[in-house]
Amino acid sequence: MAWADMGWIDISVPLATGMPHWPGDPEPIVTSTLLNMSPHTGTHIDAPLHYIPGATSIAAMPFSATVGEARVIEICDVNIIKPGELRFHEIQQAERILLKTRNSEECWPNPVFNKNYVSITPRAATYLVECGIRTIGIDYLSIGPFGKIGDETHQILLEAGIWIIEGLNLSMIEAGRYDLICLPLVLAGCDGAPARAVVRKRE
């Protein structure tokens, strides 16, 4: 039975040659017999090891991080995600939060990397840590802004044990509560991995 027949919606970005990728990473090459790309290409998960030496790798990710109930929150700010807008949604402890921004409509159709994507400020990351969430997802290639400030956002979240899903496509998804399945490839010792992500609306 197809995923769609069971109510599941694919929110992954298809891996393909020429797709947008992080500056400095190898350009993705995808053929019927070859896959050459960074582990942080397309829809993927960041492990704590991505920024914290000696921390948990992607192969040790607990299923509970990305399998279970999730909430999609639609972000109104077209530039940056700040604590004030997040507070409005009354985020609760242990939630899995997926942030839908203008990225889904504007960034993914463009094969050229867009450094002006919507992302989370370090202060907003600190707020999410205070909320006690377990997972945060966003609809472009980084949870943090382009440049060094983005490193700070990652550091804050990953040091708190929050798992990060990046590169989602939420253009067809409305705000609300969903069942989420998002599992990475088991890449031994890696700081991240490509993932397939699907959601199903909760009744």
Give the domain ranges of the chain.
3-201
Tens digits of per-residue pLDDT, 43-100? Answer: 999 999 999 999 999 999 999 999 999 999 999 999 999 999 999 999 999 999 999 9
Task: Give yes or no: 50 in active site.
Answer: yes
Amino acid in position 125: A
Taking 70 as the threshold, does the pLDDT of residue 158 lie above it? yes
How confident is the model at residue 1, as a pLDDT?
42
**Mean of pLDDT values over 24-51:** 96
Beta bridge partners of 100: 74
CATH of domain 3-201: 3.50.30.50
**Mean of pLDDT values over 131-155:** 97
**Mean of pLDDT values over 131-140:** 98
| Of 40, 50, 89, 154, catalytic | 50
User: What CA–CA distance (Å, rounded) separates 117 from 135?
Assistant: 20
Contacts of 194 (CB under 8 A, 6+ apart): 15, 37, 39, 41, 42, 43, 44, 184, 185
- Cα 194 versus chain centre, distance: 10
Q: Per the confidence metrics, is the pTM higher than 0.75?
A: yes
Q: What Rg, from alpha-carbon coordinates, does the chain have?
A: 16
